[in-house]
Amino acid sequence: MKLSPESLEAFMQAAAQGSFSAAARRLGKSQSTVSEAVARLEIDLGVNLFDRSGKAPMLTDAGRALLPRVEDVLGASDRLQLAAGALAGGLEARLTLVMSDAYQSPDYKTRMTRLAERFPELELECVFAEHADVINLISSGRAALGLLPATGPHPPEIGSATVAERAEFAIFVAATHPLATTAQLSLDELGQWRSLRLNTLHETGARLDDVPKSRVRSWSAPNYLILLDLAVLGFGWAALPRWLVNSYAAERLVELQIPGWPRHQALEVIWSRERPLGPAGSWLRDALLNTELNAEEL
């Protein structure tokens, strides 16, 4: 059974306005047209939606029970039309943002809130990865935008721009680690203990930092959150984003005093020049690069 959208709209407006004549004025149609549409809907559903015995039509028990369902159907129809219109206008059906654990911004929530308000039909996916894995996800088309520490030249198909935020890295060990009670360490002394290093799935074995190489065989993981867990468990020392430690392990990790540390790392947003960003991707890239969050610009 296919129900007419016009009949559903006539029923909802008649219920809301309290009469067929008022519903007709609201819809810009004749009263007879609205009455006939409601009557057809009653026939299709097999129930009486209105009691017409009085001066004004009154919802029956069946009418009151079905009205919310009709509102749901019409609401879904409206959302369908909005989504179709947005897609026809070039909006991406899905936008994937891949982020490094190094990125943390006080404006991130505001930017995401405005993205949701501006593009309500957008499906957003957030993925966490590091260094070469971020670039690989962008190059392959798996992700549209990436946020990661600036690491130098990229392949020619990758566009990039530096964001205002910078990541602060320091070297940490577990509070139970033997190094935790050492007031000052040289780089050579640090190298005598196991390091917990960042590695990537795309290019294993590549050096992704400039901290000293341990004389003890290193352990590695593809993201900073896993390295943080390994450090908390006491398996070695790791260079970690300070915000990550403060948020998840402030009482369990100790910062080591190492010459040249802590360090600040520039961050950048990247995208593929071979796959132009859609409206949502372009807006989000510009928002991530905008430090003032001007309401008119964003």
Q: Answer for the pair 268, 131: CB distance below 8 angstroms, yes or no.
A: no
CATH of the domain at 214: 3.40.190.290
**Amino acid 196: pLDDT:** 94
**pLDDT reported for residue 209:** 60
Do 247 and 288 fall into the same domain?
A: no
Together in a domain, 115 and 176: no
- Please check whether residues 258 and 184 belong to one and the same domain: yes
Tell me which residue of 207, 251, 242 sits closest to 224, measured CA to CA: 242
CA distance 254 to 61: 67
Gap between the terminal Cα atoms of the chain: 46
H/E segment holding residue 135? helix 131-139
The Cα-based distances of 288 to 160, 164, 285 in angstroms read 12, 9, 5
Q: Tell whether 220 and 280 lie within a shared domain.
A: no
Considering the chain, what percentage of its residues have pLDDT values greater than 90?
Answer: 52
Q: Both tokens of residue 295?
A: 């309401």
Looking at the structure, tell me whether residues 147 and 193 fall in a common domain.
no
Rg of the Cα trace of the chain?
A: 30
Same domain, 108 and 51: no
Tell me which DSSP letter residue 3 carries. Answer: P
Using one digit for the tens of pLDDT, what is the confidence trace for 197-215? 998 887 655 555 666 667 7
Q: What is the domain range of residue 172?
A: 165-265
Tens of pLDDT, residues 37-66: 999 898 888 999 998 888 888 999 999 999
Residue 113's CATH number: 3.40.190.10
- Structurally, how many domains does the chain consist of? 3
Asked if residue 193 lies in contact with residue 213, where contact means CB atoms within 8 angstroms, the answer is no
Instruction: Label the pairing between strands 58-59 and 123-128.
Output: unpaired
Residue-by-residue DSSP string for 171-217: EEEETTSGGGG-S---HHHHTTS-BEEE--SSSTT-----SPPPSSP
Whether residues 153 and 279 fall in one domain: yes
Residues 130 and 177 grouped into a single domain: no
Q: Are residues 171 and 243 in the same domain?
A: yes
Of 125, 168, 162, the closest CA to residue 147 belongs to: 162
The count of other CB atoms within 10 Å of the CB of residue 164 is 13
- Band of pLDDT at residue 296, cut at 50, 70 and 90: very low
Which of 111-120, 146-155, 263-272 has the least mean pLDDT?
A: 146-155
User: 127 and 255 in one domain?
Assistant: no
Q: Which helix or strand (DSSP H or E) is residue 113 part of?
A: helix 108-118
**DSSP 3-state assignment of 18?**
coil
Mean pLDDT value across the chain: 87
> Are 228 and 259 members of one domain?
yes
> Which amino acid belongs to residue 94?
R
Model confidence pLDDT, tens digit, residues 77-114: 766 655 555 555 667 889 999 999 999 998 999 999 99
In terms of domains, do 14 and 25 share one? yes
Residue at which a domain ends, from 89, 120, 153: 89
The enclosing domain of 10 has a CATH number of: 1.10.10.10
* Residue 177: closest CA among 251, 233, 242, 227: 233
